[in-house]
Amino acid sequence: MQSRPATTSRPAATSYPSHSAVSNTSQAKKPAPAQSDPSKHSTMGYLHEKAKQDEEEHRKEEAETARKMRQRSDGRTPGRQLLLGDPVPANCRCVICGYCGAENLLPLNSRDRYCCYFCREALEK
């Protein structure tokens, strides 16, 4: 076995130019459209826009539900449900539906026409 000399010289490390140092005139650096407006594409921006869309959709659904209820009950306001064991408030009276027997709470001094909260049948005062 031959012994190697203690001081061996290594070949010099070749340094290659970095990718950014190489210039290519055909490729101009332009910001991507997604990077130009970070508020539109950030997570918080997206969540804010999504919340607005959901709120508007919910508002439309509620309006449609209310419209269908009014149409189904001939424009009458539904009474409130009286739960078993609850006392009748001082400013309300209990009216029992003639069709389904549900107990409805109606205000004493109201000129509105009411329907049953459960079956939407007209309630007689």
Pairing of strands 77-78, 103-107: unpaired
Cut 0.85: pTM above it:
no
Give the 3-state secondary structure of 38-84: HHHHCHHHHHHHHHHHHHHHHHHHHHHHHHHHHHHCCCCEECEECCC
What is the tally of helices (H) and strands (E) in the chain? Answer: 3, 5
Extract the tokens encoding 48.
Answer: 């804010």
DSSP 8-state class, residue 35: H
Of all residues in the chain, the percent with pLDDT exceeding 90 is 30
Predicted confidence (pLDDT) per residue in 41-84, tens digit: 689 999 999 999 999 999 999 999 888 877 776 778 888 888 88
pLDDT of 27 strictly over 90: no
Give the pLDDT confidence score for residue 48 in this predicted structure. 94
Output the CA torsion 97→115→120→70 (10° steps): 180
Of all residues in the chain, the percent with pLDDT exceeding 70 is 66
Predicted confidence (pLDDT) per residue in 93-108, tens digit: 999 999 999 999 999 8
